[in-house]
Amino acid sequence: MALRGLAGSGPGSRGPLGQAGAADEEREAPAVVAAGDAPEDVEEDEGRSRGLLRWDGFSAWLHCVCVVGFDLELGQAVEVIYPQHSKLTDKEKTNICYLSFPDSNSGCLGDTQFCFRFRQSSGRRVSLHCLLDQFEKDLPVYLKKDPAYFYGYVYFRQVRDKTLKRGYFQKSLVLISKLPYIHFFHTVLKQIAPEYFEKNEPYLEAACNDVDRWPAPMPGKTLHLPIMGVVMKVRIPTCHDKPGTTQIVQLTQQGDTHISVILPTVHEVDLFSCISPLKYFSDFRPYFTIHDSEFKEYTTRTQAPPSVILGVTNPFFAKTLQHWPHIIRIGDLKPAGEIPKQVKVKKLKNLKTLDSKPGVYTSYKPYLNRDEEIMKQLQKGVQQKRPSEAQSVILRRYFLELTQSFIIPLERYVASLMPLQKSISPWKSPPQLRQFLPGEFMKTLEKTGPQLTSRIKGDWIGLYRHFLKSPNFDGWFKTRRKEMTQKLEALHLEALCEEDLLHWTQKHTEVETVDLVLKLKNKLLQADREHLPVKPDTMEKLRTHIDAIILALPEDLQGILLKTGMT
């Protein structure tokens, strides 16, 4: 639970949660370099060859594109939704309207980019993309879609215009997507938004048509994505990638002469999520306003503060939410080369409502000691004018290694909950995982705790106790338990395939044989539906077993069983 920076986000400042919120001075297509881990097969433009319907390619990346303008009578209003058949409820439109403009007190002039996240209206019919669901299983946990939320990626322009009654041109181009690919969509907007403001709707339609021809967002593939004369080269990470590795794909690679922009990442911003590869399982809103549909829900004082991170710029929140246990106040960015003062963690009672200095204000006592070495390394980088990208890499790797030191003991203990493979019998249901016992886990820390891999001292035991009560542990353990349960199901399938099932049926009645066939067919459907980690030859063996058993039955039963599901 935390309240994100209360300072304004004018030109030259960071947007919520470390996003680029500065006025974009550079108009040229950036010679951005590189993409993910070692590239695998290149996925070229094949939207039509896959036999997809019109806008299916677009829908794999975006829900819709909105243009939000300012009307003197209506205020902020959605002027354009494209494609025109895209569905948004009135509640969703209202949220998009208010979240697509910076707060009036922020004083943003020029061009500003930021993103927001909002809850999908209840009752909305979820579109099923079987192909995309297949891709989802290969994504790292922190890049998986949350079906209950949309992301909005904003390019906001505010410039003086004496021809307008209000005296300013104010408009936002907003990409609405389920995908949390912050850096990628910010880059897309940088390419198309400035020209859109000059050429209007025909340009936007042409850009959407380009997106509709993109290949699907398949993890692990090197994707070439053309848009309005620019070709972006990206690679979406997979859950199999080694954490923290990013191999730069050089512009000079043979055959890449048409590539304009190569992205090193689809999701990372200047400062990464500090708990990766863990996922933050509570709600978070990179930008939140008093007009948000969940405003009352999150600001009521009749209950304990909710488990949520809010990014705000309106000073109103400083007073309304001053009882929250954590507040991080972000100041303006320092000029390049200027050494920032060391920010201390301060007691929450020291927070004055409106005139507080930047810093971390918390009612909690830190469990771990300060790491002076990483602070010195970053300060030295500032003195030597090390590029901010390099500073981010250092900080990202530091937090990754710290999180891995924390999670390894948990992974080791959870692995011990897995039944032995020899206990798996083809004729019994797969065995259950042993129960996670916090006390039992704590006893393992004395010999195999984080002290083996981390130099950080402190109350690690207290930190684990706190973590085990958090939504992040609950979400992490549910994910691991599901993975291990699926592994047990896959091992059970393999054990079945090694049996002589036809010989078994010769010793049992027809009723028992039919029951076996139906159960085996259900196993096949489950393996396919839940993407169980089974080898392709295992599935083929099981189909062969089923066919052999059916052919040994009387013809009337054969006809019935062959119609029951696929073999």
pLDDT in tens, 271-321: 437 677 788 888 999 999 998 888 988 888 877 888 899 999 888 888 888
The answer to whether 190 touches 276, Cβ cutoff 8 Å, is: no
**Per-residue pLDDT, 414:** 97
Q: Is 541 helix (H, G, I), strand (E, B) or coil?
A: helix
What pLDDT is stored for residue 240 in this prediction? 83
Give the pLDDT confidence score for residue 24 in this predicted structure.
Answer: 34
What 3-state DSSP class applies to 164?
coil
Q: Provide the pLDDT for residue 360.
A: 85
pTM comes to: 0.76
What CATH number belongs to 56-209?
3.30.450.200
Q: Which residues of the chain have pLDDT under 70?
A: 1-53, 104-107, 123-134, 244-272, 274, 332-355, 564-567
Q: What is the structure's pLDDT at 26?
A: 33
H/E segment holding residue 227: strand 222-227
pLDDT at residue 264, as a whole number:
62
From the centroid of its chain, how far is CA 251? Answer: 27
CA-wise closest residue to 197 among 173, 230, 223? 173
Rounded to the nearest 5 degrees, what angle is found at the Cα of 542, between the Cα atoms of 537 and 543?
95
The pLDDT tens digits for 229-270 are 889 988 888 888 877 665 444 433 444 545 566 666 666 654
Task: Give yes or no for a contact between 235 and 36, defined as CB atoms under 8 angstroms apart.
Answer: yes
What pLDDT is stored for residue 269 in this prediction? 59
The structural domains of the chain, with segments of one domain joined by +, span: 56-209, 283-363, 366-467, 500-564
Residue 298, Ramachandran bin (φ over 0: left; ψ between -120 and 50: alpha; else beta): alpha
